[in-house]
Every structure is written in C-alpha cells, then in structure tokens.
Amino acid sequence: MSKASTYKAPIVTSKLRVSGVMLDVIIAMLPLVFFSYLAHGKYSMMVIGTAIGSALITDWLASWFFLKKTNSPLDGSAIITATLMAFTLSPYTPLYMVAFGGAMAVLFGKILWGGVGKNRFNPALVGREFMVAFFPVVMTSASVWTAGSYTVVNQLHPFSVFGQGEIINYLNATFYNTNGALGEYSILFLALGGIYLVARRRIGWQIPTGLLVTFFALSLWFQDSISNYSIAGVLLGAIFMATDMPSSPNSNSGKLFYGMMIGAVAIMCLAGGIKHEYMSYSILILNGFSSKINEIFIPRSWGRSTDLPLRVKQTVLITLQIITVSLAVLGLNYYGYIHYLVFVYLAYMIFNFHFFTQQKLQDPI
Amino acid sequence: MFMKIPSLKSVTKKIEITNLADPELFYVPLKSYFGEMKPLVNVGQKVQQQLPLAKGKDGSLVHAPVSGEVVDLSYQINGLPHLLIQNDFANTVYINKEIESASAIADKIRLAGIAGSGGAGFPTHIKYDANQIETLIINGVECEPYLTADYALMSDEPEKILRAAHIAAKLFGAKNIVIALEKQNRELVKVFQSCIDFSDDISFKLLPNTYPQGGELQLIKAVTGKEIPKGSIPANEGVVVSNVGTLWAIYNAVENGKANTERIVTVSGTGAKKYGNFRVKIGTSVSHILNQLGIDLNQTDVVLGGPMMGNIVSDLKQPITKTSGGVLSFKKSETKENNCIQCSYCADACPQHLMPMQYASAKFDNDTKKYVQFNLSDCIECGACQYICPSNVPLMQSISEGKSLLKSLQNSVAI
C-alpha cells in the first residue's frame, strides 16, 4: 500500500475535542467559584474576573503576535489557567497584581512554550510565582489575607439535619468555610470536583491518590517538625494543579510516582519552613521531571516483561535527583534568593522561544 | 483498557449475502504475505475460472476469478503489480483436479490459495503446519465498526464454518474449538448450536464490544488467558486463531475442491447510498463495486477494509483482495490538527500498552531513538490512538513513518 493511503486511517474518530476536555475542568471548578462568591462576594468575583479577563486578552494578543494564531482563546485553557491561579490568591489581592499574574501565567506559562499543550510547567502556578517574585511584600505578608472581612454567608450547616456535635461541626466546615485562598472554601466540593474529573477520565486517579496518601502519611510521621498546612490547599494542588495534562507524566505508573513525589517534596518544603508556597514549589519541581519520568515509567508492552532491576535503579536515581533539587530550592528559600529563580525562568523562556520554540510552532507536539 | 467504539453495524447486519455482477476487467493482486508472486500464465493466454495464475515464494497461490484473457502481468496500482484479466463472461471453470486429489488436507488448503481473511493475509497452509495444538479459536469478533461480512457468513452459512473448524481441528489435533463472538452478536450462539455439525468440543466465548477485541493477541488473552508478545507464533503456545472467512474458504476448498477466488465484502459508510454484504470476486475494483451501487465517487472518501485499519483508496482501480472485508464510503471531511495536550488518552486506548504520543514527538523532533525506546515495534497499528485523539495529532502517520525508518535502519545494519 502506498504510504499516502495508510496515513489517513482511521477515518472514523471520536467526537471528543480539546474544548470538551477543557469544559469538564470548568464544570468541576464552577461550584468552587460559587462558594468563593458566598465567602467574599464581589471581592472574589473581581479577582477571578480580573484574572480571566487579563488571561484571555493576553492569550488573544500573544497568540496572534508570537504564534500567528487567532482562535486560541476559544479552547478554554486560558480561562482554566486564570481561574486556578485566582484560586490560590487572597480575595483581597490588589487587582493590578491579579491582572499581572493572569497575563504572565498565559505568556510565560503557555504561549512562549509554543501554545496550549506544550508547556512544561503548570501555567497557573507560573503566574502565581511571577506575582510572588514581582510583588514579594504584598504576596508574602499576612496583611493581604486580612485586608478585608466582607462575607456574603458566614456559615452553612447542611449536615446539621443529621444532629449536632463535633463531627457535624467538622462536616459543616468541610462543606463550607470562609478561610483561606479563593479556591479553598469547600473541601467537599474540591473532592467532588476531583471525583467528577476522574469519572470523566479527564485526570487519572493516580496523581491525586499518590499525592494525598504520601502527603498525609508523611505529615503524620513528621507531625512535630512541619508547620501548619491547609487541607483545602493540598486538595486544590492534588486535584487541579498537579494533574495539569501537559506538565504531568503520561503513563499510569509514572503518574503514581509523580504524585507520590509531589506529596513527599511538599512535606520537605513544609519541614524546611516554606509556609505558603509548599504545594506550588513541589508541583513545579516535579513538573520539571515529568519528561524524565515518562522515559523511566514506560508501561510494559503486551506480552513482555519489565526490566525490574533497571526500573528500580532508575527510580532511585531520579528520586535522588528530585531530593537534591528540592534541597536546593529550600536553600534558596532560606537565604531569600528564591525569587531569582523566576527571573532566571523568565530569561530562559525568552531565549528558548527565540532559538527553539519558534522553529516548531507548526508542529502539534 | 479497550475502547468502546460505536459499532454502526446495524445498517448491514441483517442483510443477507447477495451476489454482485462481475466486472469486465479484473485486477488480481500479485502479492502474498511474503512478497510479490510470480505469474504462471502469459499475456494473451486464455484462462478458465479457478486456474492458478501466480505463485509466491512460500507456495501461496492466486487463481483466476473468472474465465477470460490475460491482458497484463504487471499493471501497477499503488506501486504493486496486478495481473489483468479481461472477463469473457463464459464462466468456464477449470477443474482443479490437484485440489481434489491431494491426499493431505494441508495440501488442499495450499493449492486452494487460502490466506487469513481477517487481517494480514498470512498463508493458512503455513499457519496450519502445527501440532500439539490445544485450542482452535474461531475469530468471529469483527471489532471494526461498520463491517458485517463475518457476521453475515456466520448467520447465513454457519454449518460450513463448523464443518471447516472440525477439519482444521483434526488437522493439527486441537482438543477444543472456541467460537469467539462479541456480546452484541450473542444471537449467533443459537445459530451455531442448531447446526448438525455442532458438537461437545465446541464452546463459546462472548467478549465485550470493545476495540480491538478481535486482534489476534488480544483475542488469545481473552480466550486462553495467555498474553503473548507481538511477533511470537501462537501455535507455539498451543493456540491457532482463524477467522470465520478463512474457515469458509477452507470449507469450499476441502468439501468442494474450489480455490479461494471470492469473499464477502460489506458495503456501507456514511457516504453510501446502498448497503449490503456482497459475494465479490478477488480482483474486482472498488470503482466497479461503487458504480454498481450508484455511489457518487466525487463526494466521498473510500476505504478498503475497515474504518479503523483499512486504507483510504487513492486509486479506485484498487481491487478487493483476500483480506478486504469492506468497501466503505464517507462524505469528505476536513479534520483540523491541533496541539497535543498530553491527555494520555492514546496511551489509555492502546491495547499494546504503548505511549503513542511519544511517536509523534519522535517524528517532529526527528528523534529516531525514541521510537525504539518506546517500543514502536510492539505496535499492531490498530488505530485506536488516532481514533481517540482529541487534537487529531498525526499519530498513525508518525507510527507508519517510524516503522519504515526502523526497517531501513535494520536493513542498513544487515548490509
């Protein structure tokens, strides 16, 4: 058969398109947006709206300018990136910073990599870290969290119909509370969003499960030496951030290892005194190892066997590398140089786009 | 995990097999599984139906589908030689005494030119050169959407299939015969059970309606539990898998002394106006079939075979071969290629547990090592990855390019 004729088969394809995948993520996020409104009303909406607006405009302009594409805001990825970034912020974050973060998330998190799907790091977290690096005083101070106390609904008691007591109070708090960042007001709906995405197969169960089990097991183990963490924040990271398709590994075993390592590195970060950015750093560090994890955790082909000693050796080696990088990040953080990493990344992205990405704009991968 | 693909078979499932008028000109493909075949006839020679026309290195034969005159020995279609026969519509039949008089069943099968009708067209006489076989699996799992050629055979002529299964099982001493069917076709169980030739050593295996459940390796696992790698010989594991179409051809050869010159072809697809399961002679061109059925060739893409693994026909003279189960036409459509979003659906859909997205990145990064690293040689080219891809990344194209690249590298090493 001629090559040209074999290329086009199969002639039937599934109806699933990228926008369908993105739509499911948006559906999973919607309840959280709703709870953020209940918690801080218009302040929440302004932050999320500003992030989305800024991301969409940047996506449209930058795709046109750098990628010569004009339809990219339609795929929904900018909306997801912006909303997820907003989910990590205080509702009282100054809006110009939010706009800056949304723009940087799209520009340096996505466009300069070559567009949707090609990014090596989670763009929402890239946006957040740009904000931290450029506005360190505001972003790392407690004042941004206490700048306002406006709430629409203070408490909800859906579980009180079952009675009263400690457990009921706790359940009510997992359903809704007004503390923390914008995406953290309902642990229950964070979890339900995760279940929805797993059921729709938009994320694998391996990453959140590996991450959460490792994180909570280690947090019990090192109870005394780690600072406080937010359960909702960990869930947000495990379900919505670590599972970002382009920046996470592809194989099931790779995803499990990746999730577990994020959990472990997050605990390292907490033990090393990183107060707010522990999920962010651990996910971004592991993002950097994703392609390497892909090359190690290759699924066993049908009827063949895995070279187990080699797999163990490679796993130990990459674990050591991840620990080394994490320690280096902890060191930079300790001496207060961590924001220079963002500047290095910024410079690298410009260099990389100019010399490499630009030549591959037409390639789909 | 195997995928569910809409089967789209209901259009032709209940249609009985009918004959299709023969064309004036036949394009008999001179290719067997092991390469090109050598003609046994000359240009200008009058041939009768069933006369052997060409022979392959492995002993494979191809026979005249009709009586007529040989007009060309090496007519090229898509780079492959075809032997052209001008039909004289006299339908005089060459009485092939050799097939009838051959004492061994295996010889009859070889002389009748039987090749696996399900996929690659592996010569049946070589496959059946086996012993210590535990199980003969009858592959009635037609997992390609639209195709109902095998279904039509099973529902119209089940006794022939059973008869041939007994012949084959006796040949290599298989103790069990397992008829593998999709659950959506479970009504066939009763059809087989009501046959005279049904016996106690025959059992059924009903399998999920997933793709590619009918792939040989996947079928062997589902029936026997044995997971064998691509490239290994099932007979070494005590298993032989034969397609229902192959068994039908065996019946015709052993019981009637007839060579393998026709097969059942499903005509369907979104661009088709008439549908059905037709008895078509090998060498009939796609254009003849579509013309007979009044299908507009300008507005459709035509596929020879199934929609998943078949080929888009670039030259409508391309003929029905021993392995073509369908002629499908589809309204022309443009598919837009987007960026890979690393969703891993291709890896989830891959029955061989490969990571197809890596082949695309190997192609676009010109990284030959990656093809090897990610086990490209284990790919069975079922197309499941391409089917599921939400971005239309050219996965099959990269797989196909990667395979030819690896082949050329192997050859250069060998030299």
In this structure, what CATH number is given to the domain that contains residue B136? 3.40.50.11540
From chain B, pick out residues whose CB is under 8 angstroms from the CB of A256: none
Pair (A23, A162) in one structural domain: yes
Do the beta carbons of residue B234 and residue B216 sit within 8 Å?
A: yes
Residue-level pLDDT at A1:
32
Whether A209 and A190 map to the same domain: the answer is: no
Same-domain status, A163 and A188:
yes
Query: What does the alpha-carbon distance between residue A56 and residue A171 come to, in Å, rounded to a whole number?
Result: 37
The answer to whether residue B191 sits within a structural domain is yes
Average pLDDT of every residue of chain A: 92
Residue of A nearest to B338 (CA): A364
Q: Are residues A222 and A322 in the same domain?
A: yes
In degrees rounded to 5, what are phi and psi of residue B264? -95, 135
Residue A13 lies in a domain: no
pLDDT digits over A83-114, tens only? 999 999 999 999 999 999 999 999 999 999 99
Residue A4: band (very low, low, confident or very high) from pLDDT cuts 50, 70, 90: very low
ipTM of the complex: 0.92
Cβ-defined contact of B357 to A300 (cutoff 8 Å): no
Sign of the CA dihedral with A218 first, then A220, A225, and A229 last: positive
- Chain A CB within 8 Å of residue B348 CB: yes
Residues A222, A193 share a domain: no
Query: Does residue B208 sit in the same domain as residue B350?
Result: no
Cross-chain residue pair A116–B341, CB shorter than 8 Å:
yes
- Closest to B49 measured CA to CA, from B4, B98, B89, B106: B89
DSSP secondary structure of B183-194: GGGTTHHHHHHT
For an interface test with B, give the residue of A80, A122, A250, A302 to mutate (most B CBs within 10 A): A302
B394 and chain A in contact, CB less than 8 A: yes
- Asked if A5 contacts B325 with a C-beta cutoff of 8 angstroms, the reply is no
Contact A190, A232 (CB under 8 A): yes
CA distance A319 to A313: 10
Residue A245 confidence (pLDDT): 96
State how many domains chain A has.
2
SS3 A209: helix
Quickly tell me which residue has 């799992």 as its tokens: B141
pLDDT value of residue B414:
62
**A101 and A78 fall within a common domain:** yes
Distance CA(A276)–CA(A227), nearest Å, equals 10
Nearest beta carbon to residue B343 from set A8, A12, A245: A245
Of B306, B315, B312, B309, nearest to B287 by C-alpha is: B315
pLDDT number for residue A10:
87
In this prediction, residue B1 carries a pLDDT of 57
Same domain for B249 and B366, yes or no, is: no
In-domain check, residue B11: no
pLDDT 10s per residue in chain B (415 long)? 568 888 889 889 989 999 999 999 999 999 999 999 999 999 999 999 999 999 999 899 999 999 999 999 999 999 999 999 999 999 999 988 888 888 888 899 999 999 999 878 999 999 999 888 999 999 999 999 999 999 999 999 999 999 999 999 999 999 999 999 999 999 999 999 999 889 989 999 999 999 999 999 999 999 999 999 999 999 999 999 999 999 999 999 999 999 999 999 999 998 888 889 999 999 999 999 998 888 877 778 899 999 999 988 889 999 999 999 999 998 877 778 899 999 999 999 999 999 999 999 999 999 999 999 999 999 999 999 999 999 999 999 999 999 999 998 888 776 5
Q: Are residues A57 and A186 in the same domain?
A: yes
* Residue B382 near residue B391, CB atoms below 8 Å: no
Residues B252 and B371 reside in one and the same domain: no
- In-domain check, residue B301: no
Q: Which residues of A touch B396 (CB under 8 A)?
A: 6-7, 9-10
Q: Least CB-CB distance to A250: which of B232, B301, B344?
A: B344
**Which domain-ending residue is among B208, B240, B256?**
B256
Is A157 in the same domain as A265?
A: no
Q: How far is A268 from chain B (nearest CA, A)?
A: 28
Cα–Cα distance for residue pair B208/B145, rounded to 1 Å: 14
CA nearest A365 in B: which residue?
Answer: B340
Q: What is the largest CA-CA distance in chain B?
A: 62
Backbone angles phi, psi at B83, to 5 degrees: -100, 125
**Test the A interface: residue of B218, B343, B357, B396 with most A CBs within 10 Å:** B343
Domain that holds residue A148: 18-202+336-365
CA-nearest of B64, B70, B67 to B88 is B67
Tokens 């723009």, residue located:
A103
Single out the residue in B212, B231, B256 at which a domain terminates: B256
Q: How far apart are the first and last CA of chain A?
A: 27
Convert the pLDDT of each residue in B10-39 to its tens digit.
889 989 999 999 999 999 999 999 999 999
**With 50 as the cut, is the pLDDT of residue A5 above it?**
no
User: At A312, which amino acid appears?
Assistant: V
pLDDT at A3 over 50: no
Which residues are bridge partners to A300 per DSSP? none
Residues A77 and A192 occupy one common structural domain: yes
Residues in chain B: 415
Domain span at residue B371 reads 345-414
Give the up-direction half-sphere exposure of residue A115: CA atoms within 13 A in the CB hemisphere: 26
pLDDT band at A6 (very low <50, low <70, confident <90, very high): very low
Rg (CA), chain B: 21
Considering CB atoms only, which of A8, A360, A364 is closest to B391?
A364
Does residue A222 sit in the same domain as residue A97?
A: no
In a domain, B36, yes or no: no
Indicate whether A76 and A163 sit together in one domain. Answer: yes
Whole-number Å distance between alpha carbons of A198 and B130:
47
User: For chain B, what is the domain count?
Assistant: 2
**Interface membership of B364 toward A (CB under 8 Å):** yes
SS3 per residue for B122-143: CEHHHHCCCCCCCEEEEEECCC
In this structure, is residue B193 part of a structural domain? yes
User: How many beta-carbon contacts under 8 Å exist across A and B?
Assistant: 166
Domain stop point among B203, B233, B256: B256
Identify all chain A residues contacting B367, using CB atoms and an 8 Å cutoff. none
Identify the pLDDT of residue B191: 96
* pLDDT for the residue numbered A161: 85
Q: Are residues A194 and A271 in the same domain?
A: no
Same domain for B246 and B110, yes or no, is yes
Model confidence over A164-215: pLDDT tens digits?
Answer: 888 888 888 889 998 899 999 999 999 999 999 999 999 999 999 999 999 9
Question: What is the CA A126 to chain-centroid distance, rounded?
Answer: 9
Subunit contact A248:B387, Cβ cutoff 8 A = no
Helix (H, G, I), strand (E, B) or coil at B75: strand
- According to DSSP, the β-strands at B35-36 and B31-32 are antiparallel
| Residue B388 sits at the chain A interface (C-beta within 8 Å) | yes
Give the angle subtended at the CA of B53 by the CAs of B51 and B55, to the nearest 5°.
120
Asked if the structure places residue B299 within a domain, the reply is no
Residue B318 belongs to some domain of the structure: no
A86 CB-near residues (< 8 Å, 6+ apart): A47, A48, A51, A52, A98, A102, A182, A183
Residues facing residue B135 across a β-bridge: B176, B239
